[in-house]
A and B are shown apart, each in its own frame.
Chain A
Amino acid sequence: MGLRKFVDKIKPTFSEGGKLGFLHSTFEGFETFLYVPNTVTKKGAHIRDCNDIKRVMIVVVLALVPAMLFGMYNVGRLAGIEGVLPAFWYGFLEALPNIVVSYVVGLSIEFAFAQKRKHEINEGFLVTGLLIPLVMPIGVPCWIVALSTAFAVIIGKEVFGGTGMNVFNPALLARAFAFFAYTPQMSGEAVWYADGKTGATALEQLATTNQMEWSAMDAFWGFIPGSLGETSTAAILLGAALLLFTGVASWRIMLSVFVGGLAFGYLFDAVGMTDYPAYYHLLVGGFAFGAVFMATDPVTSAQTNCGKWIYGFMVGALAVLIRVVNPAYPEGMMLSILFMNALAPLIDYFVVERNIARRKKLIKNVK
């Protein structure tokens, strides 16, 4: 195969000691992207499942596609473009810079760190890089995307040791950073539409007036303003179906987030703190998107099965709690997931302690 020959030919240049040896990790990253490496098992099991982290991550990216495509169309539609394709094209051009900026900035940092640590390049950012533009308002300036991506990757991930070691979900951290550092550009009424149009999101309307100008069906299908990827619950559920079917995301977490949100939604509705049905919470804002794509991040969520139930329920419940009790900040999903990210190890700690206690009990039974 010609391509393989070419890769083999330039490989020595990029290997240790070669002229471009300092780009070792970058080359390896591209090589393993092109070819599954020829490494064979040395110790332990001689055969291995053909699933790897690249495949896991690419499934998540695929799951994000429906929400992204719909988001692009929705941007054009809200800007007043007639027709599906022209509206989509308009939205595509609006969203493209953010996506490109997020990938370029994030991957550059990842590559640099991998190079420095002489690690292989991890695939985690394939997902994070797409999540970041999807949770940002469409009108947010590119430099904010770049800055928050850099913050999320460096402070959120690399300082902890890279993929698999981070405490907080990097994409959410990027959004939190942008939100708190550049509040005027990130919230308010101006940023959810492209091209200078303004208007409040459904979430803000619910928080301030207890009703919204869209029907629940509109909110479900996604014909409402909001961040690029989060408006259409239907498109998100499509992605959720893929994640659950392939087993990439935990159904325990996903289900319990929705249960937690609904439970607290009903509670607040019952005591009269809100005046709209509980399921509205699941349809508007980032709830569904967070539940499906953010809360289920295996690295930052609870790791034990029992812990996942608790973690998920708390994420959903807290999100609704923040939405209802704190009208100054209508979107609770981001903060509740970040908060539970911090608590997840504690939840797991107690679950594992119970396992240890069961084991210690065995000793007593004998004596």
Chain B
Amino acid sequence: MSKNIKLCKGLDIKLAGKAEKVVESAPMAKSYAVSPLDYENVTPKLLVKVGDQVEVGTALFFDKNNPRILFTSPVSGVVSAINRGEKRKLLNVAVEPDQKQQMKELKVVNPATAERSEIVEMLLASGLWTRIVERPFGVIANPDAQPKAIFVSAFDSAPLAPDYNFVLASEKAEVEAGMQLLARLTDGKVHLSARKGDEGFMAEVKGVEYHTFSGKHPVGNVGVQIHHIDRIAKGDIVWTVNIQDVAIMGRLVLSGKLDMSKTVAVAGSEAKKPAYKRIISGAAVESIVGKVEAGVRIISGDVLTGTTTAADGYIAAGANMLTLIPEGDKYELLGWAMPRFHRFSVSRAYFSWLCPKKEYKLDTNLNGGERPFVVTGLYEKYLPMDVYVSYLLKACLVKDLDKMENLGLYEVLPEDLALCEFVDPSKIEMQQILRDGINLMIKES
């Protein structure tokens, strides 16, 4: 067993509305959707039209950049809507479920004995391939690539994040099967990282390189873990998979059926009853949280990296939680000069350092105007990586590809800079700047 990796940098933002550890089954939603916008750099090409009958695992669209990558329906039923935005951009394909939940016949192979190519084909056909993320760049993995290693984080350290030990408590066999499947995809190692002292059954999972981490968020970010286990150098390709998706892959192998159900946390100060819900991927938000009043922001994912979701929208494919927090579209008289006991700041210019245990109810107010880079040395305290954040971001802003590469663009994804963005008094949109930089790099290379 390898030794524990302890990270000193980071921050745990304590928010009100932690999900209680009970799982309820959400009712069948009126519709389920698959959206190309949940993925980076996908150019969708439709395979169905409104009114088509689909089964669980029927491909709805594919990626024009790589036609082998299919996006499949999580439920069986009828394609009820194909929603488009400006310039006919595909927003999502909605499926109205039926009662039968018919599964599409899939050729399920035994990962222990099958060829690697057969396993790849199985994952591609089921649509589960889309759940494999490739680094650098954080895009859907290229099925033709040979990753140096595969990394799985067994815990999420983001504010209010679901506890995967709880979520996956009854799915040890599935996680193990999923891990064995991943092991066949790489000639290198499969790394599994758990939180020290809260390891659940993760330490017992066989066939993986097991690590433990301790520290504050972003210690659970797989990018940070990669940095401390086996850094990405230029030319390296590594894959990462969310632990709950590993379990879904394992389920496919063990039962031979594609079952897209998962447990998500419903959390945040505006959640009426913060708890866990058993849902099927892509469910309408309303079926999970019910009616939500105006003035509440629904976030697919955590408060730092999630995407804003409309009350009549759908939970994002990769999201394992819904966070509900108040919108902050209010003025605050002389707020910058006030003590502001109810707000949180890492700076001792405010007073939240006096009550480190307090759980805050934070809203979406930007708390200031956007300014140029002024403070220094702050961002590096919240990114446990050997990366100079402001230099990298400035390289992205001036579109200097060589600098971006040299300063560590291959090692970070926007989620890793989320905390820096949170603490930044200049309110710079760091995640967006980095994403634009990464997309530019993809385009140019």
Contact = CB atoms under 8 A, between A and B. Distances in A.
A106 to B, nearest CB: 17
Interface centre among A41, A123, A252, A308 (most CB of B within 10 A): A41
Contacts of A359: 233, 386, 406-408
A344 B304 CA distance: 33
A48 B371 contact: no
A209 interface: no
A49 B347 contact: yes
B333 to A, nearest CB: 6
A355 B386 contact: yes
Interface string A279-306: 0000000000000000000110101110
Nearest to B335: A36
Contacts of B25: none
A58 B333 contact: no
A303 B377 contact: yes
A271 interface: no
Contact of B388 (A32, A165, A355): A355
In the complex, which range does the number of interface residues on chain B fall in? 35 or more
A329 B377 CA distance: 34
B425 A51 contact: yes
Nearest to B405: A359
B422 A35 contact: no
A366 B235 contact: yes
B398 to A, nearest CB: 13
B303 interface: yes
Interface stretch (A142-150, A241-249, A261-269): A241-249
Interface string B412-445: 0010001101111111011110000000000000
B329 interface: yes
Interface in A160-211: 161-165
Contacts of B423: 49, 51
In the complex, which range does the number of interface residues on chain A fall in? 35 or more
A56 B374 contact: yes
Interface centre among B308, B327, B407, B427 (most CB of A within 10 A): B427
A48 B374 CA distance: 17
Nearest to A302: B376
Given A48-B365, A54-B336, A366 B233 contact: yes
Interface in A334-357: 352, 355-356
A163 B377 contact: no
Interface of B: 13, 15, 231, 233-236, 297, 299, 303-306, 308, 323, 325, 327-337, 340, 343-350, 362-377, 380, 386-388, 390-391, 406-408, 414, 418-419, 421-427, 429-432
Given A40-B328, A58-B336, A359-B386, 19 more contacts: A1-B333, A3-B333, A34-B333, A35-B333, A36-B331, A36-B332, A40-B327, A40-B363, A44-B430, A46-B306, A50-B335, A52-B336, A53-B426, A163-B371, A164-B371, A246-B348, A303-B376, A303-B377, A359-B406
5 contacts: A4-B333, A35-B332, A51-B347, A359-B407, A360-B406
